[in-house]
Structure 1
């Protein structure tokens, strides 16, 4: 599967900065990348970089928020185009790996690993957005599936964290030990998940 961008519009300099910074943060971590290195990766001066972003912290929060918006859009597309909980979750999972490049998927890792680098108010703000735009829509899918008798009555929040826990190892793209999951492997992953959560009466 070759991921494509959710938005195919020509990238602006701001988009280029976000793309290159995301790649660097994913590869080396927030503390492992300097403003100078980000500017060099974008072929611009530090002054030009500061024109778009006042500091590295603002770059990180913008990356997290942009990634969150992309995840939210994939969830909304799945909810609008499919009816059952299982088909919606399947559509969302497959869209993660076909519509988002690996570094964009890895934003979820950045959110868990680098959140502590943000000021408390920014951290609180992003945590609220993370729940509203990502966790809650996922929980709503499971809750609606329970109401329809499709799923067993269990904690929707626990179901979400179980699903994300299974997806988490694949959120950083290819590595020396693991390649991108194939469509068949994604199907198998979802089978493993649903066998434990699908209603036995259906």
Structure 2
């Protein structure tokens, strides 16, 4: 018979994953050892292997967990009965606020996904595509003609460009908070989304 998990097993593993995310974000996946993870968690290395099989599994848990939370976020907002503009605004704000609580996980996903095996990388990237598609649909809800022009995805990627790299410069203890920046991002988005030309830009040829 399989051995039953001790009470608190899942909580302890979540703690290990969180600590691993801190270390991976600070030192990189390659630059972090399982000894360091065990020390950060106050465990022996032998005890650590009771909860996870290896460092690679920790990377998978971190990336999958972050993507699953983002997928749940967009699905929840997409199902809300709200006007398109408010739905898009809420989705953007929820994203920025989620990143505030998952800066380490987001950094690991951004910088260390390259270390995943092809099948795991594909699963993670498929989840990212779902998130991007949901945001694009929210954009189309505000401006329906984006769909025919095929500009919904490019605008969505520009939006994520603002959000995804915020962790590189936004200081946790600075005057600007993620909550304040969520408002700034939505103000920029709604202030400019209607001004975007749907015609391909004309590139002048040099004479």
TM range (shorter): 0.7 to 0.9
Could you tell me which residue of structure 2 aligns to residue 169 of structure 1? 165
How far residue 69 of structure 1 moved from its aligned partner, in angstroms, is 1.2
Structure 1: 5+ residue stretches without partners:
1-10
TM-score by length of 2: 0.75
Following the alignment from structure 1 to structure 2, what is the Cα–Cα distance between the partners of residues 53 and 102?
Answer: 26
The structure with higher relative contact order (CA 8 Å, sep 6+) is: 1
Cα 1:179–1:21, aligned 2, differ >3 Å: closer, same or farther? farther
How far residue 161 of structure 1 moved from its aligned partner, in angstroms, is 0.7
How far residue 37 of structure 1 moved from its aligned partner, in angstroms, is 0.6
1:1-202 to 2 correspondences below 5 Å: 12-98=11-97, 100=98, 102=100, 104-132=102-130, 134-147=131-144, 153-171=149-167, 174-175=170-171, 180-181=176-177, 183-198=179-194
Following the alignment from structure 1 to structure 2, what is the Cα–Cα distance between the partners of residues 172 and 73?
Answer: 25
**8 Å Cα contact 1:78/1:92 also seen in 2:** yes
Larger radius of gyration: 2
**8 Å Cα contact 1:23/1:103 also seen in 2:** no
Deviations 1:2-26 (A, max 9, x none): xxxxxxxxx7111111111111112
Following the alignment from structure 1 to structure 2, what is the Cα–Cα distance between the partners of residues 51 and 185?
Answer: 41
Aligned length: 188
Cα 1:33–1:175, aligned 2, differ >3 Å: closer, same or farther? farther
Following the alignment from structure 2 to structure 1, what is the Cα–Cα distance between the partners of residues 136 and 87?
Answer: 12
SS in structure 2 of the partner of residue 32 of structure 1: coil
Cα 1:37–1:113, aligned 2, differ >3 Å: closer, same or farther? same
Deviations 1:27-60 (A, max 9, x none): 2221221111111111112222222221111111
**8 Å Cα contact 1:18/1:63 also seen in 2:** yes
CA RMSD of aligned residues (A): 3.1
TM-score by length of 1: 0.77
Could you tell me which residue of structure 2 aligns to residue 4 of structure 1? none
How far residue 64 of structure 1 moved from its aligned partner, in angstroms, is 0.7
How far residue 191 of structure 1 moved from its aligned partner, in angstroms, is 1.6
How far residue 62 of structure 1 moved from its aligned partner, in angstroms, is 0.9
Could you tell me which residue of structure 2 aligns to residue 3 of structure 1? none
SS in structure 1 of the partner of residue 193 of structure 2: coil
Structure 2: 5+ residue stretches without partners:
1-9, 197-207
